Amino acid sequence: MPAIAFATYPALPLLAADEHPLIERLAELDIRGVPAVWDDPAVEWEKFDGVIIRSCWDYHLRFAEFFSWIARVERTGVPIWNAPATVRWNSRKTYLHDLSIGGIRTVPTLWLLADGGRGRTASVAAILADTGWEHVVIKPVLSASAHETWKVSRDEAHANAAVHDERMRALIRRDGVMVQPFVPEIESDGEWSLQFFGGTYSHAVIKRAKAGDFRVQREFGGTHESVTPAPSVLRQAERALRAAPGESLYARVDGVLIDGELVVTELELLEPSLFLDSDPEAPSRFAAAIASVLGNRR
């Protein structure tokens, strides 16, 4: 029986709860799914038939160490999904720039990178004045789950300039920052997440922030509900996925609908929650995609 390691992190040694049915569906296909903490020195990765990166939700805090681990697994010859080249590309949010120059509609973004010349004197108030944006969302280029992400209005940027500017400059010095206009549709309508397995659409949810917040992640009180995307929205998500390098075993396309068009906010190919609890057939679809890639290697 082939064995697949599902890489996770110390806070979730048995994987997220919604992935437990996936292990059961794999067993029905005679595939053994084994949760394995990525930084556990006792794990013998070379004994697996493949490694699937799942709930490694600390990678952005231990970036160099995490990608050193990936390189070590690569050297064993054991395949990793998604592919290391894909997750390296996707690990920095500058991939959104690649999507935009490839014709995918994304949220307008001002990039302030660590090796640029503007970081030392960057001012949130000046950015708001120059762009004409009323509110901005500031987030690190290297981030996950809204880590170090905050929203600032014009009035706040002026009233607390020193606080916001130093916070932003510190992040620029570390890894770089992205500044985007706040998209009110996220607050009013929610953010779409469309899941794909083996490049094929599986299911979708809308994520909503709790009252008074703009972050839709569950750890900040966000909720989600199952939805069925219109054919045009699905086509736009598929186009965004095709713009990524290589093929993906799993993918999540996030976006907001503006005038009926999907504006991509994230293309998640590294360790996204896949909302397997939102569709009873989703674990079976994911399991079938895993069985397919295993079969292609035999």
* Chain region(s) in the chain for CATH 3.30.1490: 110-182
Q: Determine contact, residues 11/270, Cβ cutoff 8 Å.
A: no
- Residue 163 phi/psi, 5-degree rounding, is -65, -50
Per-chain mean pLDDT for the chain: 92
pLDDT of 30 higher than 90: yes
This prediction's pTM: 0.93
Give me the mean pLDDT over the 171-188 stretch. Answer: 90
Give me the mean pLDDT over the 80-86 stretch. Answer: 97
Q: How much is the pLDDT for 214?
A: 65
Band (288; pLDDT cuts 50, 70, 90): very high
Query: Beta strand 191-197 with 200-208: parallel, antiparallel or unpaired?
Result: antiparallel
pLDDT of 210 higher than 80: no
Q: How much is the pLDDT for 120?
A: 72
Q: Percent of the chain having pLDDT more than 70?
A: 93
- Which residue is it, tokens 């952005």? 60
Q: Which residue has the higher pLDDT, 198 or 144?
A: 198
Q: Determine contact, residues 158/127, Cβ cutoff 8 Å.
A: no
Query: Beta strand 223-227 with 200-208: parallel, antiparallel or unpaired?
Result: antiparallel
Q: Which residue has the higher pLDDT, 51 or 224?
A: 51
Q: How much is the pLDDT for 175?
A: 87
pLDDT in tens, 54-73: 999 999 999 999 999 999 99
Q: Percent of the chain having pLDDT more than 90?
A: 80
* Chain region(s) in the chain for CATH 3.30.470.20: 95-105+185-285
pLDDT in tens, 107-143: 999 999 887 667 678 899 999 999 999 999 999 998 8
**CATH ID of 110-182, from 3.40.190, 3.30.1490, 3.40.630, 3.30.870:** 3.30.1490
Q: How much is the pLDDT for 105?
A: 97
Rounded Cα distance between 69 and 167, Å, is: 30
Range 95-105+185-285 classified under CATH 1.10.260.30: no
pLDDT of 297 higher than 70: no
The CATH code for residues 3-90 is 3.40.50.20
* Chain region(s) in the chain for CATH 3.40.50.20: 3-90
